[in-house]
């Protein structure tokens, strides 16, 4: 079944007639259309691109003329965002949406995405809007066959980046330059520009700190490196993390910390399966880390797909169950200001009976 069909089924369940999707991730999920995101909202748009999905499976996309629609099985109206003249993008956008809802015969009630639905469209759409963020998030968590294939490519691109990062992380190199070379390697492997999330952070204090920004910095012998690479390829995100020592052997303290994270990831791989409750899985991992004398202050991981972080989030109070074809990042770590930071993260696909590593790469601190 196509994702349009899956959304149509969701509409039947929820009682709405239409889904109006305005998130770049949801549009990609629904239609396979990749909204460019790397410079934020396009200066040539009148508002976010919109996908309309009807209960009967008919679908449409409104996007600016600077984007080419990809994907199949939907109607498309593009409006003048870029023009060699003064133009009112908001008016053009609204006209295109009006034309699309006439074309699709849009009537009845509609579900909308609260995080992205623009005020400027509200008066054009009849009916009472209901937020469908959570039901869309749950639906998106389980990937179609086509999405599984895309996720595999994205994970492979991340794995290629990891190999390159390990190779280039040499004393005397510059943190920001290595990051740039690693990103470029992933773009060459992907055959396209990639949006990038994640981090490549070197040095004891900085690698122990969550949320540091990549910066110009000379890598010294023995520096811990934490390398969390998340490229977006064909609209779907890869993710991955490992940690290691640049040009030197790890200290006993670093090695012990690393082993704890790695062992906990191995435990995750042996435990993850359909029907398991997320909070129980999360507790298993945290308990194991604690038994080894470590802890991490963040989630145990997260779902991934057309958004880099999506449902289910692996946190202590998430009661959802894992299902087959969820793609789950698991990322236990540990951070000590005097030793450095470590984090071990593979992308796991939930199979019928357990899970598999989607694109393995070398993960060791040696």
- Binding residues for its own copies, rule: CB under 8 A, are 23-25, 35, 37-41, 43-47, 66, 83-86, 89-90, 112, 114-122, 129, 131, 133, 174, 176-177, 179-181, 183-185, 187-188, 191-193, 195-197, 211, 213-216, 232, 297-299, 307-310, 313, 315-318
In the bound state with its own copies, the residue whose beta carbon lies nearer, of 185 and 349, is 185
In the bound state with its own copies, the residue whose beta carbon lies nearer, of 304 and 363, is 304
In the bound state with its own copies, the residue whose beta carbon lies nearer, of 139 and 363, is 139
Coil, strand or helix at 82: coil
Q: What is the dihedral of CA 23, 29, 31, 36, to 10 degrees?
A: 50
CB of 257 to its own copies, least distance (A): 20
Look up residue 322 and give its DSSP letter. P
CB of 261 to its own copies, least distance (A): 17
Which residue's entry shows tokens 């991490």? 296
Output the six-digit token pair for 110: 């509609």
CB of 5 to its own copies, least distance (A): 25
CB of 289 to its own copies, least distance (A): 14
* Angle, CA 310 vertex, CA 195 and CA 365 arms, to 5°: 70
CB of 64 to its own copies, least distance (A): 11
In the bound state with its own copies, the residue whose beta carbon lies nearer, of 25 and 223, is 25
In the bound state with its own copies, the residue whose beta carbon lies nearer, of 273 and 309, is 309
* Angle, CA 335 vertex, CA 333 and CA 340 arms, to 5°: 115
Look up residue 331 and give its DSSP letter. -
Please say whether the dihedral angle defined by the alpha carbons of residues 290, 294, 299 and 300, taken in this order, is positive or negative.
Answer: negative
C-alpha closest to that of 256 among 202, 294, 209, 200: 294
């Amino acid at each position: 079944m196509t994702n349009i069909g899956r959304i149509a089924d969701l509409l039947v369940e929820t009682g709405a007639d239409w889904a109006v999707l305005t998130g770049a991730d949801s549009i990609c999920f629904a239609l396979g259309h990749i909204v460019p995101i790397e410079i934020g909202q396009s200066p040539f748009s009148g508002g976010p691109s919109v996908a309309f999905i009807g209960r009967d499976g008919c679908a449409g996309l409104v996007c600016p003329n600077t984007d080419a629609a990809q994907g199949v099985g939907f109607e498309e109206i593009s409006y003048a965002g870029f023009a060699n003249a003064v133009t009112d993008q908001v008016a053009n956008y609204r006209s295109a949406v009006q034309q699309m809802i006439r074309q699709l015969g849009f009537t009845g009630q509609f579900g909308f995405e609260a995080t992205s639905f623009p005020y400027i469209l509200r008066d054009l759409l009849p009916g009472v809007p209901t937020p469908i963020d959570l039901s869309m998030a749950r639906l998106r968590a389980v990937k179609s066959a086509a999405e599984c294939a895309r996720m595999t490519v994205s994970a492979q691109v991340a794995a290629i980046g990891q190999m390159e990062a390990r190779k280039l992380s040499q004393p005397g190199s510059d943190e920001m330059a290595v990051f740039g070379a690693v990103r470029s390697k992933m773009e060459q492997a992907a055959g396209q520009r990639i949006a990038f999330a994640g981090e490549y952070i070197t040095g004891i204090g900085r690698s122990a700190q969550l949320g540091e920004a990549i910066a110009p910095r000379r890598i010294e012998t023995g520096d811990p490196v934490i390398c969390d690479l998340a490229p977006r390829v064909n609209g779907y995100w890869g993710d991955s993390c490992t940690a290691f020592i640049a040009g030197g052997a790890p200290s006993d303290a670093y090695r012990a910390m690393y082993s704890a994270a790695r062992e906990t990831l191995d435990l995750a791989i042996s435990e993850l399966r359909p029907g398991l409750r997320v909070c129980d899985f999360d507790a298993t991992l945290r308990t194991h880390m604690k038994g080894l004398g470590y802890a991490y202050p963040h989630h145990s991981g997260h779902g991934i797909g057309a958004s880099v972080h999506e449902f289910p989030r692996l946190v202590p109070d998430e009661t959802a169950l894992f299902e087959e074809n969820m793609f789950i990042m698991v990322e236990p770590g540990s951070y000590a200001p005097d030793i450095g930071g470590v984090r071990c993260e593979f992308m796991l696909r939930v199979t019928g009976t357990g899970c598999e590593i989607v694109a393995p790469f070398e993960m060791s601190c040696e």
